[in-house]
Amino acid sequence: MPLRLLLAWLVHLYTALGAAVAVFTLALVAGGRYREALALMGLALILDATDGTFARLARVKEQIPGIDGARLDDIVDYLNYVFVPCFLLLWAGLLPAGHGWWIVCLPLLASAYGFSQADAKTPDHFFLGFPSYWNVVAFYCFVLGLSPWFNAFLVIVLSVMVFVPIRYLYPSRNALLQGLTITLGVVWGVLCFVVVFYLPDPPYGVALASLFFPAYYAAVSFWSHWRHGASTSRP
């Protein structure tokens, strides 16, 4: 087997490993081992953040045209970004008692729609609609100890936002402030690692400080969307 073809298959295997990570994460959540579960959720995020770069370097589309790497990535992402965090929200009691079962159905259904949209990603590498970062949502609901009803409100609002065609940054592909975004993302990842390391008593100040990156991401995405709308509205 030529080296390039072998590398291309290894990249697909690297992406698919995210599905195995999802299963182990579910088992840890079910066993109440939330620290390890959140650590694996972080690992899944790292796999997803890097597999696209490896795929482009290995030219997997040229080497293995019969395998749709984007579809494989979407399957794994739905597991790790939607199914697993929704299970965490429900199992860890982060939603109001007696209501969690229908509340988690909202992101599960909304994100199923979001992932299946033909234009879920724009040609210039933006996500269209809230990009189902439920892993991030569940992480903060857990480590900040937020009220279950506040968590429910957040989940409901963001589920609706999946259907609102606002353009959100695709950090690993979008050229807009890419260097800054990736750098800040790495800093954010380190802060999140510190928070998870100290569970079950996470440093609340570090957890709050780490919110700088979601705030930055939202601000740049909304600014970019407004700029895009303003530019396209001109004659």
The confidence score (pLDDT) of residue 136 equals 97
The confidence score (pLDDT) of residue 123 equals 84
The confidence score (pLDDT) of residue 21 equals 97
**What does CATH list as the number for 3-232?**
1.20.120
The confidence score (pLDDT) of residue 232 equals 41
Of the candidates 138, 142, 112, 129, which has an alpha carbon nearest to the alpha carbon of residue 170? Answer: 129
Q: At 89, which amino acid appears? A: L
The confidence score (pLDDT) of residue 231 equals 43
Euclidean distance between CA atoms 51 and 85, whole angstroms? 21
What are the CA-CA distances from residue 18 to residues 140, 157, 164 (Å)?
21, 27, 28
pLDDT averages per 10-residue partition of the chain, 235 residues = 87 96 98 97 94 89 89 95 98 96 97 89 87 96 96 98 92 82 94 96 95 96 82 37
Euclidean distance between CA atoms 88 and 81, whole angstroms? 11
**Contact partners, residue 172, CB within 8 Å, separation at least 6:** 49, 52, 53, 182
Euclidean distance between CA atoms 151 and 156, whole angstroms? 9
Of the candidates 64, 54, 84, 92, which has an alpha carbon nearest to the alpha carbon of residue 200? Answer: 92
Task: Say whether pTM exceeds 0.75.
Answer: yes
Euclidean distance between CA atoms 66 and 85, whole angstroms? 31
The confidence score (pLDDT) of residue 218 equals 95
**Contact partners, residue 62, CB within 8 Å, separation at least 6:** none
Euclidean distance between CA atoms 152 and 158, whole angstroms? 10
What backbone phi and psi angles, to 5 degrees, belong to 202? Answer: -70, 145
Euclidean distance between CA atoms 136 and 183, whole angstroms? 18
Of the candidates 189, 195, 193, which has an alpha carbon nearest to the alpha carbon of residue 207? Answer: 195
The confidence score (pLDDT) of residue 1 equals 62
